[in-house]
Amino acid sequence: MTEADCLFCSIVAGENPATVIREDDRTLAFMDINPATRGHCLVIPKRHSDDLTLSDPEDIAACSIAAQELAQRAISKLGADGVALISFAKPAAGQTVFHTHLHVIPRYEGDGLKQPWIPNNVDAAEIESSAKEMSND
């Protein structure tokens, strides 16, 4: 994916419409076109990266700050009871638009959304084994 054929880059460039709700030097936030709940929006870095694992850490920091502010607005202005933040990286995780983005999803008591995973019982050795591979050396 390059900037030239990226949907979200075209929104940043003003070549495609979006309902923008927040902007700073590094980030843009706009309403999701197919919202999961009332107020569902997306925060993106203005600079293109395909997904969160490939982004400049400074861009992720700026997106996180923007997402926190929007989560606060969801509670104080929309009356949300909670907020879910999520980013899917790569198709296996469910990513469909290949420009890094954080979903800010206001949650309301009884909104019917499901958790994105089913908790599994696995033995402690398996958790230890993945922990070893995930740890700082």
Return residues touching Zn ion (CB under 5 A). 6, 8-9, 48, 99
Closest CA to 31 of 1, 80, 74: 74
Provide the minimum distance between the beta carbon of 6 and ligand 5GP in the complex, in angstroms, as a whole number: 11
User: Does the footprint of ligand 5GP cover residue 7 (CB under 6 A)?
Assistant: yes
Q: Which of residues 21-40 bind ligand 5GP (CB under 6 A)?
A: 30-34
Asked about 48 being catalytic, the answer comes back as no
Residue 48 binds which entry of ligand 5GP, Zn ion, none, with Cβ cut-offs from 5 to 8 Å by kind?
Answer: Zn ion
The edge-to-edge listing of strands for the beta sheet with 20-23 is 20-23, 27-31, 41-45, 102-107, 82-86
Residue 121 binds which entry of ligand 5GP, Zn ion, none, with Cβ cut-offs from 5 to 8 Å by kind?
Answer: none
Task: Closer to Zn ion by CB, 24 or 126: give it.
Answer: 24
Instruction: Work out which of 22, 69, 75, 88 binds ligand 5GP, going by CB under 6 A.
Output: 88
- Residue numbers annotated as active site: 101
